[in-house]
Amino acid sequence: MKARLGPLPYIYPIPITLVGANVEGRPNFETIGDTGLAGIDPPLVFVSSHRDHYTNLGILASGTFSINFPTTAMLARVDFCGTVSGRDADKSALFEVFYGDTGTAPMIAECPVNLECRLLQQFCIRHRQVFIGEVLQCFAGEEFVHMDGGRPRFVDLPTLDPILYALDNQYYRVGARIGTGYQEAEKWKGDAT
């Protein structure tokens, strides 16, 4: 028997990211779980932010932004970034910042992976501002990736050590590897015969 809980968008798990943009001349970072993959080829990402959020101003003005993936060791700073607005606090010194070719999307050196993005499309749904971005460049710490036949091969998720979140308002780490894409299906086909 299922309980009906009303119109609750209980998506889980949520990847915790720091979305970066320069606003009024300085780097600002917003903690966001409302983000995700929107396509691999073309390389698309999706970010949804409250319409009043300070970071939005920088994304709209520059047409660029970054998505940065913090580690669990950065949890206190990441949570802090989600509790104060750039309008009220200068967050530019919280992290070591670097730039890519656009020169306008601030990225966080301490994060293992950073995506430098170009704003492709944006629209509002009620008080939400939705951004669709195209990834121009993926940056990764050299200890987290090696090239294998011309293609990047990343270390496993537990080593990248991202922060997960759920709408129970709790943070989690990643657990053990349990399988490989497009190979587990074989086990099901076996069951079905």
Residue type, 176: A
Q: Is 79 helix (H, G, I), strand (E, B) or coil?
A: helix
In the complex, minimum distance from the CB of residue 24 to its own copies, in angstroms, rounded to a whole number: 22
Q: Which is nearer to its own copies, 25 or 189 (CB)?
A: 189
Q: Residue 25 and residue 30: Cα distance in Å, rounded?
A: 16
Rounded distance between C-alpha atoms, residue 43 and residue 51, angstroms: 25
For residues 12 and 164, give the distance between their C-alpha atoms in angstroms, rounded to a whole number. Answer: 9
Nearest distance in Å: CB 58, its own copies:
20
Q: For its own copies, give the closer residue by CB, 9 or 149.
A: 9
Nearer to its own copies, 61 or 187 (CB): 187
Q: What is the closest distance, in whole angstroms, from the C-beta atom of residue 172 to its own copies in the complex?
A: 5
Candidates 158, 153, 152; CA nearest to 178 is: 158
CB of 125: closest distance to its own copies in angstroms? 6
26 or 34: whose CB is closer to its own copies? 34
